[in-house]
Structure 1
Amino acid sequence: VHAVNQVCNFKTRSNIDPEAIKKGLNSLLPDDILVRDAGYVPFEFHARYSAKSKVYEYRILNQEDPDVFMRKYLWYIRTPLDLKVIAECLGLLLGRNDFSSFRSSGSGNMDPVRSIMRAELHGTEPGLLRVIIKADGFLRHMVRNIVGTVVEAGKGRISSHGFEKIFESRDRQSAGIKAPPQGLFLMDVQY
């Protein structure tokens, strides 16, 4: 799992300038992590619980040959996918619904009802597909479980009607596989 725009916060009594904190953190972090900005927030702000919505993107390479340089950043699927069926399935997710069919066992007693404002399939170049989902919150592995199930539909193993039945069943066991983690990106958190 990757993050393009992850937000974190902490409370401190230090008077260190936020720009100095940013530079200090970047000098200590590994090369694949970068602090882009630092600043003051209200005392009651919480990076996770103050979020109004989040946007995730899942990347799939759907072509004959893999891309060895991008393999850590996408799910490679050789089998041709029916993009129309995938888009239809994603459209069924819109609105306020119970996402129990796509929750992971680690979700605990968390309320499975979420509001999906956007669920789209984009093809940006030959073979590269992007599933974009925006919601007011997500359950553990929810995006990966959704993507795994819509890919099953795209392979012809599930119809869009079958996907709808899985969604309505509220049963994780009826849904498809969980997509691998390397294709998932947290793109934005909105407050």
Structure 2
Amino acid sequence: MRHGGKPACRSNFEPRLVVRASRAAAQRNVGRTFPSLIHRRLRLTLGYRGTRYAGWATQSPSRTRGRPTVQATLEAALASAVGHPVRVTAAGRTDAGVHADAQVVSFETSSRIASDGLRRVVQRRLPEDVWIVDAADAAADFDARRSALRRWYRYAICRDSSPPAVWQGRCLVDARPLSLDAMRTAARSLLGRHDFASFVTRPTVTRSTERSVLAADWLEVSPALLLFEICADAYLKKMVRGIVGSLLWVGDGHWTPEEFATALARADRRAAGPNAPAAGLSLVRIEY
């Protein structure tokens, strides 16, 4: 029979031809490999105000008591931008309430969005208290944490009862008379490689508490503003806050600089002063 002037049976042979062609193509491809999804490694530098966050690292809601973490907030924004889950690695794991001006993170993505375009897209998905300073493609072996050589922290103390707007929420308000000279003398004992167990919160017995401090000093920016800056290869949990709290004991006369040095040498948390509040601490620079 004919339909529309053409043999009706012709279409019955077309599927067989397709199957034969598919089998032939499959046989030709035996033993060949095909490229998988192309992965890029990117590096982001970001800042954040840590006031409302339960720290950098993602944690269970039962531990954060409903507060967000910076890592989870950033990863959600990145996943929305690139269309797949993202896991980031950070140079420093800041504690609850601690800020950052130049945190560095690395991650992999199969997205082809240019780094600067990705920065703009992700920024639109972040809250106002988290922002991206820079975005760039990185070498395949770059790791924000393992590749870091030195990390700088800064602790700010406002000696006025009303901090300037730029320091609101980012400093410790402390109007007590403090001896800057005594605190600077004590800070010099931090330089070099030491066991910093006296300043760590909840040390673990399986990990070393030795760290190398390359710089540590107090700066009087103005009569109303003191800054403590410290640079080390790595830090222990709440180490900088423990150091600052103990240095403030020197500043107000509770300790001498020599007593601070003795507390450091004892490598025992019970020998040192209290942790300074988180509000004054910021991660300010990572060196590679």
Structure 2 CA distance for aligned equivalents of residues 39 and 146 of structure 1: 34
Structure 1 CA distance for aligned equivalents of residues 205 and 107 of structure 2: 26
Give the CA RMSD over aligned residues.
1.5
3-state SS of paired residue (1:5)? strand
2:242 to 145, 154, 158: 145
Structure 2 CA distance for aligned equivalents of residues 16 and 111 of structure 1: 41
Structure 1 CA distance for aligned equivalents of residues 102 and 234 of structure 2: 16
- Counterpart code for 1:43: A
- The 8 Å contact of residues 107 and 140 in structure 1, kept in 2 or not, is answered as no
2:257 corresponding residue in structure 1: 160
Aligned length: 190
Q: Does 1:60 align with 2:157?
A: yes
3-state SS of paired residue (1:6)? strand
**Alpha-carbon deviation of 1:154?**
0.6
Q: Does 1:76 align with 2:173?
A: yes
- Counterpart code for 2:130: I
Structure 1 CA distance for aligned equivalents of residues 249 and 109 of structure 2: 48
Q: Does 1:113 align with 2:210?
A: yes
| Pair 1:60–1:134, CA change in 2 (3 A) | same
Specify which structure has the bigger relative contact order, considering alpha-carbon pairs within 8 angstroms and separated by 6 or more residues. Answer: 1
Identity %: 33
Structure 1 CA distance for aligned equivalents of residues 187 and 231 of structure 2: 11
Q: Does 1:24 align with 2:133?
A: no
Deviant stretches of 4+, over 6 Å: none
**Alpha-carbon deviation of 1:66?**
3.5
Structure 1 CA distance for aligned equivalents of residues 164 and 284 of structure 2: 23
- Counterpart code for 1:66: S
2:287 corresponding residue in structure 1: 190
- Counterpart code for 2:219: H
- The 8 Å contact of residues 197 and 203 in structure 2, kept in 1 or not, is answered as no
Structure 1 CA distance for aligned equivalents of residues 242 and 175 of structure 2: 19
After TM superposition, the score normalised by the length of structure 1 is 0.94
Instruction: After superposition, give the CA deviation of every residue in 1:43-88 in whole Å (9 maximum; x if it has no partner).
Output: 221111110001100001124x332743411011121011111001
- Counterpart code for 1:133: I
3-state SS of paired residue (1:10)? strand
Structure 1 CA distance for aligned equivalents of residues 281 and 239 of structure 2: 11
Q: Does 1:85 align with 2:182?
A: yes
Structure 1 CA distance for aligned equivalents of residues 262 and 218 of structure 2: 21
Instruction: After superposition, give the CA deviation of every residue in 1:106-145 in whole Å (9 maximum; x if it has no partner).
Output: 6663321111110010000112000000111111111110
3-state SS of paired residue (1:123)? strand
2:148 to 51, 69, 72: 51
Structure 1 CA distance for aligned equivalents of residues 190 and 135 of structure 2: 35
- The 8 Å contact of residues 107 and 139 in structure 1, kept in 2 or not, is answered as no
- The 8 Å contact of residues 62 and 81 in structure 1, kept in 2 or not, is answered as no
Structure 1 CA distance for aligned equivalents of residues 133 and 205 of structure 2: 33
Structure 2 CA distance for aligned equivalents of residues 62 and 91 of structure 1: 23
Structure 1 CA distance for aligned equivalents of residues 139 and 164 of structure 2: 44
Structure 2 CA distance for aligned equivalents of residues 97 and 174 of structure 1: 15
Structure index of larger Rg? 2
- Counterpart code for 2:162: P
Query: Which stretches in structure 2 are left out of the alignment for 5+ residues?
Result: 1-97
